[in-house]
Amino acid sequence: MTLTIVFDLDGTLVDTAADVAALINPMLAGLGRGTLTPAEAASCFGLGAAKFVERALNLVPGPALSDAALTDLMARFGAVYATALPVHSRPFAHVPETLADCRARGWRMAVCTNKPARATETLLSALDLIGYFDAISGGDSAPARKPDPVHVLDAINRAGGNRTRAILVGDSETDAAAGRAAGVPTILVEGGYTQQNLTALGATRIVPGFAGLADLLAELDPGRDR
Q: What value does the mean pLDDT take over residues 171-186?
A: 95
**Domain annotation covers residue 183:** yes
On whether both 196 and 210 belong to a single domain, the answer is yes
Question: Residues 208, 101: one domain?
Answer: yes
Mean pLDDT rounded to a whole number for the chain = 91
- Look at the chain and report how many structural domains it folds into: 2
CATH of the domain at 118: 3.40.50.1000
Question: Could you tell me if residue 68 is inside a domain?
Answer: yes
Does residue 116 sit in the same domain as residue 213?
yes
CATH number for 21: 1.10.150
Residues 75 and 136 reside in one and the same domain: no
User: Sign (positive/negative) of CA torsion 35, 115, 96, 164?
Assistant: positive
Whether residues 58 and 157 share a domain: the answer is: no
Assess whether 61 and 160 both reside in one domain. no
Q: What is the DSSP letter of 10?
A: B
Residue from 8, 101, 154, 171 carrying the catalytic annotation: 8
Same domain, 8 and 117: yes
Whether 154 is a known active-site residue: answer no
Shared domain for 29 and 101, answered yes or no, is no
Same domain, 168 and 102: yes
pLDDT of residue 57: 86
Q: Which of 151, 204, 194 is nearest to 173 (CA)?
A: 194
Domain boundary among 83, 110, 136: 83
Strands in 108-112's sheet, in edge-to-edge order, are 135-137, 108-112, 4-7, 166-170, 186-189, 205-207
pLDDT band at 226 (very low <50, low <70, confident <90, very high): very low
CA distances from 187 to 41, 180, 192, 207, 221 (A): 23, 11, 12, 7, 12
Is residue 226 a part of any domain in this protein?
no
Q: How far is CA 160 from the centre of its chain?
A: 20
Q: Is residue 137 over pLDDT 90? A: yes
Q: How confident is the model at residue 77 (pLDDT cuts 50, 70, 90)?
A: confident
Q: Over 60: is that where the pLDDT of 225 sits?
A: no
29 lies in some domain: yes
Looking at the fold, whether 133 and 205 belong to one and the same domain comes out as yes
Domain boundary among 41, 66, 83: 83
- Is 225 part of any domain? no
Q: What is the pLDDT of residues 82-104, one digit of tens each?
A: 888 889 999 999 999 999 999 99
- What's the pLDDT tens digit per position in 102-131? 999 999 999 999 988 988 999 999 999 999
Name the residue range of residue 119's domain.
Answer: 4-15+89-220
Structure confidence by residue, pLDDT tens digits, 20-54: 899 899 988 888 888 888 988 888 886 667 788 88
In terms of DSSP H, where are the helices of the chain?
A: 17-30, 38-42, 49-59, 67-83, 95-104, 117-126, 149-158, 173-182, 213-220
Q: Which pLDDT does position 46 carry in this prediction?
A: 67
- What proportion of the chain, given as a percentage, has pLDDT over 90? 62
Which of 48, 65, 83 represents a domain boundary (last residue)?
83
